[in-house]
Structure 1
Amino acid sequence: MSFVTVRDIYQSYDDRPIIERVNVEAEEGAFLSIVGASGCGKSTFLRLLLAQERPTRGEIRIDGADPAREPGLDRGVVFQRYSVFPHMTVRENVVAGESFRSPWGRFFGAERKAALTRADETLARCGLDHVADNYPATLSGGMQQRLAIGQALAAKPRVLLLDEPFGALDPGTRLSMHEFLQDLRAETGMTVFMVTHDLEEAFKLGDRVLVFDKIRWDPQDPTLNGATITYDFDARNGGIPYQSLKEDTHVLRPHG
């Protein structure tokens, strides 16, 4: 049974189509990488999955629930730039991630003590327990990004959305972050959608690789049409198509 279901999604801004006829089904625990040229709607698709935006047409359901009207705790997000609170310590950042589940937006007394203990456990898993009392500005880029992922995980999301999370990191740090993410995924069983411009990274980390592109171009008006999923590759089976895309969606198929 599909855990994340995306049905016939369209999104436009000021009557300008960004994505159109996007259909995806993903099982729980799947890792889907998303690639494509700049401006083809990859980040827009993530915002729709997050429910930060609502589609012009179509619907997105998680575990069969009604389409979300706003971001919820079942979805966590990490951006390319380190989305952490600079005025809080590393430990406090992780506690803040979990505190969103509290009715008051923060913890008190015994609840706070328990939250701090859980934060230290998360930091140990992230390899950041030795800098728990530091502020984010004192950390390296890779450490700050691990903190951002740890903060997102503290809220225990069922779906993790990553928008170019490693794009600003040096090659060595990027490789270590790949290992970190793979370990976390194995431990948590979360469903992951990751946007990346790095095709090698997409196939390395993803179970599937979705390619967004425009299949119709108007030379007189390049913004006339939106992008859709043109390829859905099975990254764990030699890169063959994950599923056959129907002709009536006007989606291009790989040849050979």
Structure 2
Amino acid sequence: MSAISVENVWVEFGDQIVIENLNLDVASGAFLAIVGPSGCGKSTFLRMVLGQDRPSRGRLTLDGKPLPDEPGPDRGVVFQRYSVFPHLTVLGNVLLAYELGQSPLLGRLFGAARRRAIEQSDELIAAVGLSAHRDKHPSALSGGMQQRLAIAQALAKDPKVLLLDEPFGALDPGTRAQMHALIKPLWARLGMTVIMVTHDLREAFTLATRVVAFDKVRHDPQAPGRFGARVTYDLDLTRDGPVPVMGFSPKGAAEAGA
């Protein structure tokens, strides 16, 4: 199970309110895409689920239990910038996740445990289409290949939740299409919950089973930070039609993601 519940969450930094009174339930196994204008709290929300940030008020739970105060192996993350180790090969990058997970003090495995970890690493490397590049360093890989490697790293700890923060935003259209063809079958096969932040509406509707728009519904020109973002539109793509929030329309959601 990997259901996430967000209850009455506020995020405030001094006098600035980033998110206000956010309520959201994410079903186990869902692929949720979050869209909205810059500065509306999308990445802040992702960091809260990861455990990097904490809400000022309210709570987040995973399978009914409060999320830990720091990142853990139950939540994997892929950022827009390639978060791989340049001094390690493709195999070394994926293997390190297993070694740190099973031997956090030494960061090394030996004997049968190491052989098994290498087998598991090779399976993930094959799953993301990098078997032919197993012994190369990241500097010898294209941007799309490095992002495939970052995904393999994130999956190595078998997370319940995979968080994607504009993971394909720096890629050219052709490479992005290849990554779309990679990530959706992986999600379907592994059955994990995915939360993806994106500015690309086409990407959101191509990959996700549910699209949620964040935006500020109230504005004060004299105090720009007085009000925060909320869910303004919620579309479940597994059903027949949209679920409007706060009376907003599909056109409003599209404009929010532009």
| TM-score, structure 1 as length reference | 0.92
Moved more, 220-229 or 132-141: 220-229
Runs of 4+ in 1 over 4 A off after TM superposition: none
**Whole-angstrom distance in 1 between the partners of 2:103 and 2:58:** 32
Contact 1:47 1:53 in 2 (8 A): yes
SS in 2 for 1:101: helix
Task: Tell me by how many angstroms 1:2 deviates.
Answer: 8.0
Q: Which residue is equivalent to 2:17?
A: 17
**Whole-angstrom distance in 2 between the partners of 1:106 and 1:230:** 47
Provide the alpha-carbon RMSD of the alignment.
Answer: 1.7
Task: Tell me by how many angstroms 1:108 deviates.
Answer: 2.4
SS in 2 for 1:12: strand
Contact 2:213 2:234 in 1 (8 A): yes
Task: Tell me by how many angstroms 1:98 deviates.
Answer: 2.4
The letter for the 2-side match of 1:3 is A
Q: Which residue is equivalent to 1:99?
A: 99
- The yes-or-no answer on 1:7 pairing with 2:2 is no
Q: For each residue in 1:62-119, what CA deviation from the matched residue of structure 2 results, as whole angstroms up to 9, or x when unmatched?
A: 1112331111110000000101111111001111222332243432222111111110
The letter for the 1-side match of 2:5 is T
**Whole-angstrom distance in 2 between the partners of 1:96 and 1:216:** 46
**Whole-angstrom distance in 2 between the partners of 1:99 and 1:227:** 40
**Whole-angstrom distance in 2 between the partners of 1:255 and 1:114:** 49
The letter for the 1-side match of 2:124 is T
Contact 2:46 2:163 in 1 (8 A): yes
Contact 1:91 1:132 in 2 (8 A): yes
Q: Which residue is equivalent to 1:248?
A: none
Q: For each residue in 1:157-183, what CA deviation from the matched residue of structure 2 results, as whole angstroms up to 9, or x when unmatched?
A: 000000000000011110010010011
Unaligned runs of 5+ in 2: 252-258
Contact 1:99 1:155 in 2 (8 A): no
Q: Which residue is equivalent to 2:256?
A: none
Q: Which residue is equivalent to 1:42?
A: 42
The letter for the 2-side match of 1:213 is D
Unaligned runs of 5+ in 1: 246-250
Q: Which residue is equivalent to 2:65?
A: 65
Q: Which residue is equivalent to 1:76?
A: 76
The letter for the 2-side match of 1:19 is I
Q: Which residue is equivalent to 2:254?
A: none
Q: Which residue is equivalent to 1:201?
A: 203
Task: Tell me by how many angstroms 1:239 deviates.
Answer: 5.0
Moved more, 100-109 or 221-230: 100-109
Q: For each residue in 1:201-232, what CA deviation from the matched residue of structure 2 results, as whole angstroms up to 9, or x when unmatched?
A: 11111111110000110011222211111111
Contact 1:31 1:208 in 2 (8 A): yes
Contact 2:95 2:118 in 1 (8 A): yes
Contact 1:78 1:161 in 2 (8 A): yes
- The yes-or-no answer on 1:254 pairing with 2:244 is no
Match for residue 137 of structure 2 among 127, 135, 138: 135
The letter for the 2-side match of 1:209 is V
Moved more, 35-44 or 102-111: 102-111
Contact 1:2 1:25 in 2 (8 A): no
Contact 1:95 1:116 in 2 (8 A): yes
**Whole-angstrom distance in 2 between the partners of 1:14 and 1:85:** 36
- The yes-or-no answer on 1:148 pairing with 2:143 is no
Q: Which residue is equivalent to 2:255?
A: none
Match for residue 236 of structure 1 among 235, 238, 258: 238
| TM-score, structure 2 as length reference | 0.92
Q: For each residue in 1:12-49, what CA deviation from the matched residue of structure 2 results, as whole angstroms up to 9, or x when unmatched?
A: 12231111111111111100000000011000000000
